[in-house]
Every structure is written in structure tokens, then in C-alpha cells.
Amino acid sequence: MKTVVKSFAKLNLSLRVYRPRSDGYHPIYSVFQEISLHDELLIEPISVPVCQVRVPGSELDGKLNILNRCFDVFRPHLSEHAGVSINIVKRIPMGAGLGGGSSNAGALISWWVATRRLTLSSEMLVGLAATVGADVPFFLTGGTAIVQGIGEQVQSTDIPVPEWYVLVNPNKVSDTRTVYEWFDTRFPNAPDVAATEPNAVPVVFGENSFETVVWELIPELSVLGGWSMATFGKQARLSGSGATVFFEFSDYQAAQQFMGAVGAQFPTMWTSLVYPVGREKN
């Protein structure tokens, strides 16, 4: 039986990046927000113990996918004959700082749990999910959450968030590894998370440690940000390591008007009007 599962994107409403640990990973303190933009996974169980993934119309089609890695990680814990065939309708841009691949993996894991093909404790589930991708544990719960560690520490929160977001992407891919390398070069004295009391870190919406770096790597975003501030008084806020920026609105009509103006001024850029969601919207 085939099942259609939605995998929602996320925004980093704030992102503070710390000095890398001894293992090379950078601890973070971030507020993640699940949003209405989503891919769709058409999942069909198959008797062969493999994960077959198709992404029709995408450059990802025919290539190994994060879902293949997810299957390999969870295979020892899956029920017998738990193979899957998955077709992805891709709507979340790749390399956009919106967690598209991690969201797909989270949706697959949640489907395994819901269909009783996977029965693990919450601790084991999160631990394995983190080995698939740093953002994957968040997508097992979604909604609004404070995320720490390297992504494996997820705490749901009721922090108020804006009602609408306009997303803008210059149709550029932001390579996460490159952004981290530039960050380490630009900020060799970044704070050490071990010297910071996590619970004392203030939530500053719009703060993103990567902004300076990404503005250098993708100057179109700096141009967009300057225009939006001068024309609308709206600050461009970077999500994750980019290349997507978002603008916050409390009024739907104002958001629509702004998105139309962006389209007229920057016709080659991708735009989307979205709203925050929680797992109850699945």
C-alpha cells in the first residue's frame, strides 16, 4: 500500500555557531521553526530489503540520497522485509538552508515508527537519526524548538513566532562545508560553548553567525537585503547556512505585496510565502 507523507522545511529563526569541538563539529544554539513548504514522499513497502529512491525531474534522480543512508543506518532495527520504494515530489530547494534532505529522512523515520516497522526508545531513535544528519532529530518532532549540541538536543518551545514568512533564494546553492570553513577562517576566536551556560543564551531572532560569510559568498543576498531595508524597512534574515533568506510578516496582504515587489525587482530569484506549522498539521 502506497502512502503519501509530507516532509516540511524549517527556518533557523536564530543561529549561534560556536568554536569547533575536538572532533571538528561545531556546537550550535538555534531556534528551528517548521514551515508549510514541503516535499511529498510517496512511500511503498517492497519485499526486497533495499531503499529505492526516485526524484523525477530533479538532478538528484538516480543518485544516492540521504534516504539511502537513512535506510542503511536503521536497517538492523527494521522489521523483516522492510524495504521501501520512494518517489519524491521535490519542492524544497536544495542547498538552501531549509533542511530539505533532513526533513525527508525525518519523514521516513516517522513513517517507519507509525507503521510499526521500527520500535526503538526515543533516545535510540534520536541517536540514530543524528548519525543520518545533524538536523534530522528536529524533524522527528517539528514545530518550534530550541536546538543545541550539533542538532541532537531538541527541546520544544512555545516562543511566539511570526504568522507569515516570505522566503527568497537567488537560485544559488550554499555549500555547508564551505560556509563552515570560511566561518572558521573569519572567526578563529568564536566563543567556546563549554564556557557558555546554554540556558542563559538569549534568543535573538534574526541572529545568524553565518550571515557575514554567506553575504561574501553570495553577494546577491547583500544586494537584496539592502534593497528590502531601503524600500520596505524589512531586514533579510538568513536561514541556516543559506542561501535562503526570509522576511517576517504579521499581515498576509503585506507579505503578498512584498513578495510581488521582490519578484518584480529580482525576477530570477525564487520566492515562496509560507506559515509556521507543527506536527498536528501533517
* 2 in active site: no
Q: What is the pLDDT of residue 100?
A: 94
For 198-252, what is each residue's pLDDT tens digit?
555 556 677 899 999 999 999 999 999 999 999 999 999 999 998 999 999 999 9
Coil, helix or strand at residue 202: coil
Q: 97: closest CA among 153, 188, 32, 155?
A: 32
Q: What is the pLDDT of residue 202?
A: 57
60 or 145: which carries more pLDDT confidence?
Answer: 145
Separation of alpha carbons 122 and 188, rounded Å: 36
> Would you say 129 and 109 are in contact if contact means Cβ atoms under 8 Å apart?
yes
For 108-120, what is each residue's pLDDT tens digit?
999 999 998 888 9
Check whether 280 has a pLDDT greater than 80: no
168-192 average pLDDT score: 92
User: Inter-axis angle of helices 122-132 and 100-114, to 10 degrees?
Assistant: 150
Q: What is the pLDDT of residue 201?
A: 56
Confidence of residue 282 (pLDDT cuts 50, 70, 90): very low
Catalytic pick from 6, 90, 135, 281?
135
Confidence of residue 192 (pLDDT cuts 50, 70, 90): confident
Q: What is the pLDDT of residue 119?
A: 85
For 34-68, what is each residue's pLDDT tens digit?
999 999 999 999 988 899 999 988 877 778 899 99
Separation of alpha carbons 276 and 258, rounded Å: 18
Block residue for cell numbers 542503511: 72
> Would you say 237 and 161 are in contact if contact means Cβ atoms under 8 Å apart?
no
- Sort 243 into a burial class: Cβ within 10 Å, 0-12 / 13-18 / 19+: buried
* 184 in active site: no
Catalytic pick from 2, 6, 10, 158?
10
82-107 average pLDDT score: 94
Domains plus CATH for the chain?
3-156 (3.30.230.10), 164-281 (3.30.70.890)
Separation of alpha carbons 272 and 37, rounded Å: 8
